[in-house]
A and B are shown apart, each in its own frame.
Chain A
């Protein structure tokens, strides 16, 4: 019989499915759940932390992740569907976005292929879309916390055939209305973007322009972004 409060079924299930990624925060698996292709994100215990603190932090991050996803989805921002959450083993079961590629891979391959007629123009459209969606997300007061081009997926839309941008990995996300937090969110993206994709300053500029144009609240965020650029992600505690 199962010990009260803990799941024996979950660890056994995870052993049977494919481990696709191991990070500092969680392990990510791919498998079938209730007949659907599913991604399982498991936040494992950190043994270097005090068990009580570890449990609290892990629980909070699991909760924050599903809350942010739901908030985004309600606003019409594509994010994976949450199928099931286990708060005892801190596992989140999410929709597997089948047939998608990361924005990172897409930009890299577009930059490589000189064959395409106008790669610039094509990527400009994508940058614009990214700016618009991030503005929408920040309008909902969701701060992603880990914006990179690897955490955005492209998939072919259901009916329209138009490509859809899906945001993933809300593991470090939280709810905040502060322009400071949103500014840092954009700063993290800028750093990641420019270091992963060489010579894309102009492209990122387009993203920011679209971001600024699609939200009324973006002015304060861009102003903060300029401040953050000068001082870095962390606030100066001197003086």
Chain B
């Protein structure tokens, strides 16, 4: 009885968030957290702008897979380290990198969280050992944390296709089509 009571919780927490080491920057780790039924979107956004939340707040309906976010985060850390960012901070650069166009305000509007949103994907770039930061952020969100893989259930596929201008021939794998456009947007 007791065991079955505790066991699911332990298993649950292990799949709640995703962490991935950036192979190009071995001391950096990317953590993604996903929340639904968020009631304090406006407050979170304000916190992020004031620098109280050190992370990128992303609109999960534009995300097909956590890999899409990793591609954006890796590119942001790379451009940060070479001094070639297009925006002011690492976290705004992640949001900008998700967009298929070079319009910064458009990128924030489409891919950043807005005050009326009830779901948010939070991306953190940190040192491997540094996890306190993550706990602090989880505490700030008034919402329910769900496994990061569930982001695919929140995806607005029609909107993603329209925004990235994917072709019907690419329908076999939307993620591939999206990632290709993100990776090559600066020379298109």
Taking Cβ atoms with an 8 Å cutoff, the residues of A that contact B are 2, 4-10, 13, 31-36, 63, 66-67, 69-70, 73-76, 81-88, 93, 95, 158
Contact = CB atoms under 8 A, between A and B. Distances in A.
A84 B71 contact: yes
Nearest to B167: A74
A85 B83 contact: no
Contact of A76 (B70, B170, B186): B170
12 contacts: A2-B81, A5-B83, A13-B24, A66-B184, A70-B184, A74-B170, A81-B176, A82-B184, A83-B179, A84-B74, A85-B187, A93-B183
A70 B181 contact: yes
Given A35-B20, A88-B82, A82 B183 contact: yes
B187 A66 contact: yes
Contacts, number: 86
B184 A6 contact: no
Given A76-B167, A81-B176, A81-B179, A34 B84 contact: no
B184 A67 contact: yes
Q: Which 9 pairs between the two chains have the least Cβ-Cβ distance? A: A76-B169, A4-B83, A82-B183, A34-B70, A81-B176, A63-B187, A9-B24, A66-B184, A2-B81
Nearest to A8: B81
Given A2-B82, A36-B67, A82-B180, 12 more contacts: A2-B81, A5-B82, A33-B24, A34-B67, A34-B74, A73-B170, A74-B169, A82-B183, A84-B71, A87-B186, A88-B82, A95-B176
Nearest to A88: B82
B188 interface: yes
A88 B22 CA distance: 18
Give chain B's interface residue range (CB within 8 Å of chain A). 20 to 34
Contacts of B180: 69-70, 73, 81-82
A140 to B, nearest CB: 11
B23 A31 contact: yes
Contacts of B169: 74-76
Contacts of B186: 87
A141 to B, nearest CB: 16
B67 A70 contact: no
B167 A84 contact: no
